[in-house]
Amino acid sequence: MTGYETFGAPVAGGALAGGEWRADASGPALLAVHGITASHRAWDLVAEELDDVRIVAPDLRGRGRSNALPAPYRLVDHADDLARVLDDRGIDRALVVGHSMGAFVSVRFAERHPDRVAGLVLIDGGLPLPPPAGIAPEDVPQAVLGPAVERLSMRFDTASEYIGFWRRHPGLGPYWNDAIEDYVRYDLDGVAPELRSASNADAVGVNALELDGSAGYLDALAALVPPLDFVRAERGLLDQPEPLYPSAAADDWARRLPALRVHEAPDVNHYTILMTEAGLQHITPVLRARLALASDEASITVDKEVAP
């Protein structure tokens, strides 16, 4: 990966790990926030596509190489960790893009640190999701996320066995590529024959119960200002025709949130919208447009500051 390096940013309880691409690139930076059981390596293809952009992507608390960081794991705690990452990397403001639960974290970040947000792009996440009817709270993660949560309690003899588990996942297996395999390999923790996912099940459980718009989240969402984009995957987590967000639900949120602009991403699912070339065709134009807008706004600010 060109211009890629890892980092450890000081946060409460230790160091938050992550990756940064092209630290010396000019123009607005992109702060990329991954999903509920993912890591910063979910952004590899995006970083490859946006090959002139500085991209900073942390492993959220309880995930990836940040999995040993202690609680609390709430969305607001992740949001404050993001601010510390920007501090550590010397970035004042960034275009913030979040995928899945990372979109919810991004909304909380915009609420708590609005002066550091040059725009917000939500990729198949960030809009409240009612919990499945008749499901006990402790069963919500499994009901919503399926195999992604199932693996957290599993152990694997070899890396090949773990890769095989993911290759059988209907949302990823049929679309397998090098970026997906690198992402899966990075997720491995432990020592054979006790290899396991790096994600902390307790952290995942906390956040899975925060996606319903509770605890003031609806107010945070309503207070967002443009530019605010939502990119909707046409298919669901298991590549099923039923998406995470039905088009009618996205349209309803667009009516409720005047700042929100909805973009459709046909023929991709909740994962492939981010980790395949087909998905990049839908999200890259949105990110490029918002980066250009952020650059223009930064230029105007500089002009005002130097004007006599």
Indicate the pLDDT class of residue 145, thresholds 50, 70 and 90: confident
Please give the angle made by the CA atoms of 69, 71 and 77, to the nearest 5 degrees.
95
**Segment 28-40, tens digit of pLDDT:** 999 999 999 999 9
Overall average pLDDT of the 143-170 stretch = 90
Mean pLDDT of 223-246: 96
- 298 has a pLDDT exceeding 80: no
Query: Could you tell me if 22 and 54 are in contact, meaning their C-beta atoms sit under 8 angstroms apart?
Result: yes
Residues 6+ apart with CB under 8 A from 290: 95, 118, 119, 121, 227, 229
Q: Mind listing the pLDDT tens digit for each residue in 51-106?
A: 999 999 999 999 999 999 999 999 999 999 999 999 999 999 999 999 999 999 99
pLDDT at 300: 64
Q: What is the model's pLDDT at position 176?
A: 99
Q: How confident is the model at residue 1 (pLDDT cuts 50, 70, 90)?
A: low
Output the CA torsion sign for 156, 159, 163, 164. Answer: negative
Task: Give CA–CA dist 77/86, Å, rounded.
Answer: 15
pLDDT at 308: 60
- pTM of this structure: 0.95
pLDDT tens-place string over residues 83-98: 999 999 999 999 999 9
| 283-295: average pLDDT | 98
Mapping DSSP onto H, E and C, the string for the chain reads CCCEEEEEEEECCEEEEEEEECCCCCCCEEEEECCCCCCHHHHHHHHHHCCCCCEEEECCCCCHHHCCCCCCCCHHHHHHHHHHHHHHHCCCCEEEEEECHHHHHHHHHHHHCHHHEEEEEEECCCCCCCCCCCCCHHHHHHHHHCHHHHHHHCCECCHHHHHHHHHCCCCCHHHCCHHHHHHHHHCEECCCCCEEECCCHHHHHHHHCCCCCCCCHHHHHHCCCCCEEEEEECCCCCCCCCCCCCHHHHHHHHHHCCCEEEEEECCCCCCHHHHCHHHHHHHHHHHHHHHHHHHHHHHHHHHHHHCC
Q: Residues 189-221: pLDDT tens digits?
A: 999 999 999 999 999 999 999 999 999 999 999
Q: Flag whether pLDDT at 268 surpasses 80.
A: yes
pLDDT of residue 131: 76
pLDDT at 15 over 60: yes
Inter-axis angle of helices 101-112 and 75-89, to 10 degrees? 70
Rounded to whole angstroms, the Cα distance separating 35 from 59 reads: 10
Q: Would you state the structure tokens that stand for residue 20, as one six-digit string? A: 């940064």
> Quick one: pLDDT at residue 303?
45
CA distances from 123 to 209, 215, 225, 261 (A): 19, 22, 17, 12
Q: Is the pLDDT of residue 302 over 90?
A: no
How sure is the predictor about 41, in pLDDT bands with cuts at 50, 70 and 90?
very high
CATH level 3 topology of 4-131+202-306: Rossmann fold (3.40.50)
pLDDT of 193: 94
Q: List the chain domain ranges.
A: 4-131+202-306
Percent of the chain with pLDDT over 70: 96
